[in-house]
Amino acid sequence: MFKGSLKKFKSGNPKIVSIKAYKVLDSRGEWTIKTSVVLSDGSIGVSVIPNGASKGMREAKYLPNPEAIQNINTTLNNALKEHDPYDQQAIDSLMLDLDSSEFKSELGGNSMIAVSLAVARASALSQKIELFQYIANLYGRTDKKFSLPVPVFNILNGGKHAQNNLSFQEFMVIPALNLPFEKAYEVGVDVYSSLKGILGHEHINTGVGDEGGFAPSGFTTEKALSYIKQAVGKKYQVGKDVFFGMDVAAESFWKDGKYVISEENLSLTHTQLADYYGELVKKFELIYIEDPFFEEDLQGWEEFYKIYSKKVMVVGDDLVVTNPKYLQKVLNPKMINAVIVKPNQVGTLTETLEFVKQAKTAGLTVCVSHRSGDCAEDTFIADLAVGVGAEFMKSGAPARGERVAKYNRLLDIYHLLN
């Protein structure tokens, strides 16, 4: 990471004129931050920062909105005014110099990522290029053969994302990897619609959770997957056209050294939980399991990876929190073969891009992700996924405006590239 004093703007480049933040509502009806960065050429970059219900212990600190907004409107505005917005690394480095705390608890990770992303968007507008192209340039891509990530649709919600009894947080469908994005999107919509019809026909509540997936009560993990399998079978074939994934978010049911799956009256060791996953992999064509263990249960991660990494994507989210420092700690011995990328977990775009570079260098699959409290106005993650060449992107179900906005942005890019 570059450290040192921030250079003033280069001759011919615009400069940052002002940075302003204020509160807006997210998809959960909670206050979050909207930030505008104004450049001297009239370009205005805007970001709206999401917030997760399920958070890793080492994520960048999310400060209360009044404090975060004040930090943006005073400290960061004063520090970054008159500087070159095109030098993203230097902008982010100055913010890191201003907050030297381990988890960005002084300025707030939400304050810093709000400014970082708004600066990037303003710079892309200023240069009259698409945001994904600008991100690709920052990332250092020399090829311009952009491809779309495979969409990962969370169509049934549990855990902290729903008011039901399911311990596991997300039950997902993944279209076949060789499909054009437009067709993959259609597959997700078809399966979601079929599941709604099946649930409705059986008079099961079709209310949705935070991420747009259905949130029925009285289900077990197997029952949830069985209903999704039935929905897929209406038009497609499991294991050929559509595959299954889960975000377990195991830290949410880790209690006193055991994994307590209350809806099934189970209290499991990590070895027993690994066997439980193994049965699901066999039965339901699972190819993706995210956060299968508590982030401190490294033995569980390591043992599971040794057995199942050839069969499924073992995906680290809370384990690595989009932070290059924590990624290095789970590569030797190796515990994952895929990572989640959420910019607000780490606090700057530069650190996010460095994390992706390190992940790809290590041969890991990359999945760019939304947060459960999100906003339809901000589709940055779609451009990020395309810009860095991520293999997957998840933004919840193909329903609810804040979820669909990201998928629709990918569809826009798909048509732009074709």
Angle at 408 between CA 404 and CA 414, to 5 degrees: 150
Strands 338-341 and 365-369, by their bridges, are: parallel
| DSSP H or E stretch at residue 105 | none
What is the CB neighbour count within 10 angstroms for residue 100? Answer: 8
Rounded distance, CA 268 to CA 353, Å? Answer: 37
Residue indicated by tokens 């230097």? 90
Distance separating alpha carbons of residues 283 and 66, to the nearest angstrom:
49
Beta carbons of 108 and 61 less than 8 angstroms apart: yes
Neighbours of 392 (CB within 10 A): 23
Walk across the sheet containing 16-25 and list its strands. Answer: 16-25, 31-39, 44-48
CA dihedral sign, ordered 230, 231, 237, 240: negative
Q: Is 211 a catalytic residue?
A: yes
Instruction: Kindly give, in sequence order, each residue whose CB lies less than 8 Å from that of residue 401, ignoring residues fewer than 6 positions away.
Output: 27, 376
Contact (Cβ atoms closer than 8 angstroms) between residue 410 and residue 385: yes
CB atoms within 10 A of CB 214: 28
Distance CA 390, CA 343 (A): 14
In this structure, the strands spanning 392-394 and 150-157 are parallel
DSSP labels, 196-228: HHHHHHTT----B-TTSSB--SS--HHHHHHHH
Which residue of the set 59, 130, 170, 211 is catalytic? 211
Which one of 342, 351, 391, 394 is the catalytic residue? 342
342 is catalytic: yes
Q: Is 283 helix (H, G, I), strand (E, B) or coil?
A: helix
Alpha-carbon 37 to chain mean position: 23
At residue 142, φ and ψ (nearest 5 deg) are -95, -25
Catalytic residues: 211, 342
